[in-house]
Amino acid sequence: MPPTVRELDAAARGRWDEYVRDHPEATFFHTPVWQDAVETAFGHAPCALAAWRGERLTGVFPLFRVESRLAGRILVSTPYAVYGGTLADDAECHQALLEAALERARSMRVRWIDIRSEKAHCPDLPVVNRYVTFRRALPEDPAEVLARLPRKARAAARHARERFGLQIVFGDECLPTVWKLYSRSMRRLGSLNYPQGFFEALIRSTPAGPADPQAPGHLVQLVLHRDRPIAGLLSFTFRGVMMPYFAGCDERFERYHPNNLMYLAAMEEAVRRGCRVFDFGRSRVDNAGVCDFKRFQGFQPRPLEYQYASLRGSEAPNLHPDNPRLAVARRLWPRLPLAVTRPLGAWLARSIPG
């Protein structure tokens, strides 16, 4: 039976959740939790598609319509996410979902479809060679995590904990402080911060503490120096994988190696929760500093196979940090006060969907 595709409705939401939890290529960003948080925090219109054979769900395609002040109207799978794209039982369902997305894009007068697939499933679409991801297996005992780090990373984390006396605290009550540290780091990097409400929406919908590592969950943590927060991290768990996603550090304390200790503690806690993989997320291939730090922790890059579809002969919108048109703004951004960059960044992020 050939698949039929229709937009996801409320009645099929539970089926979507079950399908994502069972699919071997599914990620946290395919779950309804992420979709709901994007809609709540940014107001983008969801237009997810589902493929069916009779009454059996055979594929899903999370999609959002983004009205960008910089790029016009675009479809994104999935905004602000590392991964996205179609999940399906077979190639026929992948193709049916793509064709349905193209049809809806034309009817919506969309210029561009951004598909953040870990693996390319649309043979007729070009692949973007811009990003890599970093993933590594975890040991079975938290005590083994430190020993598995490369020598220099191990020494830096040990010095942070023993020589400089940095401490780790966990808890959802740390979230506002983590967001402040994150938005501070984003300003220093000349990048936009996402709104605090996005963080809050995500943790409201996922459990904290030891939980089923196969279900969506989260971990909020801070690094303290003499009781002062100097680094923070919000991570997510799903299907036995922990991914650190939102991180921030007070650059005045980098000499104490807070990031090394922060990620060590995250990996140790991941093992305690039953996770078996630590996913360091994506980095741009030209961002040598971030890529080198992840290699320094013992992770090796693997290319991501993002794809795109251009409609009406339009060029791809360049919303990336290396866009020359954004160069002046990026140089100015770190000089602005946080009282300006925090609300302005959250507003502008609606037009630049990560």
**What is the predicted pLDDT for the residue at 291?**
95
Q: Identify whether residues 143 and 260 lie together within a single domain.
A: yes
**What is the predicted pLDDT for the residue at 324?**
66
Q: Identify whether residues 324 and 217 lie together within a single domain.
A: no
Distance of alpha carbon 130 from alpha carbon 186, whole angstroms? 20
271 falls within a domain: yes
353 falls within a domain: no
- Percentage with pLDDT > 90 across the chain: 85
Q: How far is CA 333 from the centre of its chain?
A: 23
Q: Identify whether residues 299 and 314 lie together within a single domain.
A: no
* Nearest CA-CA partner of 29 in 245, 228, 272: 245
Q: Identify whether residues 203 and 268 lie together within a single domain.
A: yes
Q: Identify whether residues 139 and 122 lie together within a single domain.
A: no
**What is the predicted pLDDT for the residue at 11?**
83
Question: Above 80 in pLDDT, residue 269?
Answer: yes
The residue-averaged pLDDT of 44-70 equals 94
Q: Which three-class secondary structure string do you get for the chain?
A: CCCEEEECCHHHHHHHHHHHHHCCCCCHHHCHHHHHHHHHHHCCEECCEEEEECCEEEEEECCEEEEECCCEEEEEECCCCCCECCEECCHHHHHHHHHHHHHHHHHCCCCEEEECECCCCCCCCCEECCEEEEEEECCCCHHHHHHHCCHHHHHHHHHHHHHCCCEEEECHHHHHHHHHHHHHHHHHCCCCCCCHHHHHHHHHCCCCCCCCCCCCEEEEEEEEECCEEEEEEEEEEECCEEEEEEEEECHHHHHHCHHHHHHHHHHHHHHHCCCCEEEEEEEECCCHHHHHHHHHCCCCEEECCEEEEECCCCCCCCCCCCCHHHHHHHHHHHHCCHHHHHHHHHHHCCCCCC
The CATH number of whichever domain residue 61 belongs to comes to 3.40.630.30
Q: Identify whether residues 204 and 215 lie together within a single domain.
A: yes
Token pair of 244, please? 């650190």
Q: Identify whether residues 267 and 176 lie together within a single domain.
A: yes
Question: Above 70 in pLDDT, residue 17?
Answer: yes
Domain count, the chain: 2
Q: Identify whether residues 177 and 291 lie together within a single domain.
A: yes
Token pair of 158, please? 């040990």
Q: Identify whether residues 299 and 309 lie together within a single domain.
A: no
Q: Identify whether residues 109 and 170 lie together within a single domain.
A: no
Question: Above 70 in pLDDT, residue 320?
Answer: no
According to DSSP, the β-strands at 64-68 and 49-53 are: unpaired
Q: Identify whether residues 38 and 117 lie together within a single domain.
A: yes
Please give the order of strands across the beta sheet that includes 4-7. Answer: 4-7, 49-53, 56-61, 87-88
Q: Identify whether residues 30 and 49 lie together within a single domain.
A: yes
pLDDT tens for 111-153 read 889 999 999 999 989 999 899 999 999 999 999 999 999 999 9
- Percentage with pLDDT > 70 across the chain: 95
pLDDT tens for 28-49 read 999 999 999 999 999 999 999 9
Structural domain of 65:
4-128+305-348
Distance of alpha carbon 44 from alpha carbon 35, whole angstroms? 10
Q: How far is CA 275 from CA 132, 138, 174, in A?
A: 22, 7, 22
Token pair of 140, please? 């079975």
**What is the predicted pLDDT for the residue at 314?**
60
Please give the order of strands across the beta sheet that includes 277-284. Answer: 167-170, 217-225, 228-238, 241-249, 277-284, 131-137, 301-303
